[in-house]
Structure 1
Amino acid sequence: MASSSSSAAAAASAAPAPAVNVLAIARQVLHAEAAALHDVAEAIAATPDFARCVTAILALAGRVVVTGIGKSAHIAGKIVATLNSTGTPALFMHAADAIHGDLGMIQPGDFVVAISKSGDTPEIKVLVPLLRRKGVPLAALVSNADSYLARQADFILHAPVQKEACPNNLAPTTSTTAALALGDALAVCLLESRQFTAADFARLHPGGTLGKKLYLKVGDLSRQNQRPQVRLDATLKEVLLEISGKRLGATAVLDAADALAGIITDGDLRRMLGSFSDLESLRASDILTPQPATIDIDDFAAEALARMQQRNITQLVVTEDGTFAGFIHLHDLLREGLV
């Protein structure tokens, strides 16, 4: 009998799932969440609280502490990461851990943002009076603007949600999307208000490809390379030796005043072999390409990559104050992970 039951269970588990129109469901979810974001945008425009909240945070002496529980805690962590990376010091505090010691991370001069869809969860109801005793400003990021949390807060960041994208209206989907988007709006408003620039962003993101794109300069790479160069009257042999010896696939050609006259690449040499019969008499001036693609030593390396891709070439002549300063090669960019 037990064996028969096991077989039936195995057969049931192996049965194919009911067919669903996955594309229709996916579109329905995305449309529902997009509509909710429209409602959030209208809601923050309807009251002065969002703008007042931005002003209060800009005047802070301390940090923004973002808290929540469950899925809201995950959203709080992401908002904290965005705030920190865009110039607003922030900390994450789990709402459940706060009442077991983590409340001590809140200091005078801080500002708390509490995230809760309902605003009436037991943990929030325990936490809010403790926050009030701390005497720090409190913003409630809630869907229910008439909740306990909203009524106790100094600022209401209203993220209205009519229904979750989950068909059972249970799994936090639309509500977490709305809260996350409102957190992004807050971070970007603060960024713009602080006049936070790409250079500021780079200082906070020195690692990885993103950081390198924002701070790595052409000179940081070109100074590591040799500087192949010949004069206008250099012989073919001298050109060949310079290109092969410096291993950058090209050489600059300078005139008598050390001004850049052109460039000769290994591709130019291959093409030249089919165009000239008297190779002995050739000079650099006969085979150079005038007005080569250049880039300034203080430009970003990412710009060098863009120019190479645009022209379908593998190296650029580097200049400093208008004079020849070396080469940057595609291999340099590959080595740094920019490609």
Structure 2
Amino acid sequence: MGKIVSSRKGMGSHAVRWYILVLPVRHRGDPARALRMEADRSVKRDEAMLEYFAPKYIEVKRKGGEFVPTERPLLYNYVFIRSTEAEIYRRQRSALHAYSFLPRVHSGGESHYPYLSDAEMRNLRWVAEAYRGELPVYVPESGRLVKGDRVRITEGEFKGVEAVVAVQPGAGHKEVVVCIEGCLWVPLMRVSAGQYEIIGLNESGKHVYTKLSNERIFQGLHKALRNYHSRGGVTDADRALAEEALRAYGKLQMDSDVMRCKLASILLMAHTVLGNREERGELEAFSRTILPLLKAEQSRALLLATLYGCTDNNMYYHEAHALIVPWRKEPDMKKSKRQLLQWLDDYDEWLGHRG
């Protein structure tokens, strides 16, 4: 093997970097399987730990009438190994023979295998994490539907038919009762969870807005998120405020998309502060379902900003910025928009994405 020339003089094949490797096109299966096995062997041999990154995403497929989540490689057959060229060569000869470097990059008489800087890898991990938790198929919970919402039946003899929720769950009803439009011979039917998708939200609700216009709780939860993302963590006062918010708003049913966005924002922050991952995950999934249906710009902005601030999800980051940042050019900006801009700036600072 000839002498390896690096783009960094004096470091040669012993520079530790995030090198990009790829499996053959014909490869099928988990691209990280051999890497995991080699990492386990390294531990048993008391060698330096093999550090690698093989991002995946969750794909949901229907099998036997049920939705089954499966993991698939996010970047086809590409993987990233943090090591030196010499060490990777050694591991290739023993266990990682299926993995290959990408072609060398030549510039100014020097060359190196393609790699990512530590900063680029941190950003890639952030982006990949957004996809890892993303489920392309979400079965909305009937408990989050309200009278007047529009749904499309996806299973059973009425598959494809649009309907309006006539009776929402609660008061003894375990299922959604919908009115099938255009089918006078079957005015009402019961639809179980998993047999419908939301296609429209009720916009006729006239709930009193002051119920959710509690600035003390809203601003307090926002500040609690700052502590949540800091090294010190949340305080007892933060947790007490989050618990108060759940007691006050956790069981509310809102009849309009605007109010449901505000309610979801409060509950997302409260569950995040309390570390309730499962509850926050359910709210996040529901929020993803209704986001495409929202017509009110500020409601959509509030929900996106809150999702970003609670999850540090790369996709919410970009969607929130695309919607909110252009407001800076408005000459007479409303107070509510100024607040959302400030919140977005706060999240960028707390999550390390400013500038």
Task: Give the TM-score taking structure 1 as reference length.
Answer: 0.25
Name whichever structure is richer in helix by fraction.
1
Task: Give the TM-score taking structure 2 as reference length.
Answer: 0.24
Which one has a bigger Cα radius of gyration?
1
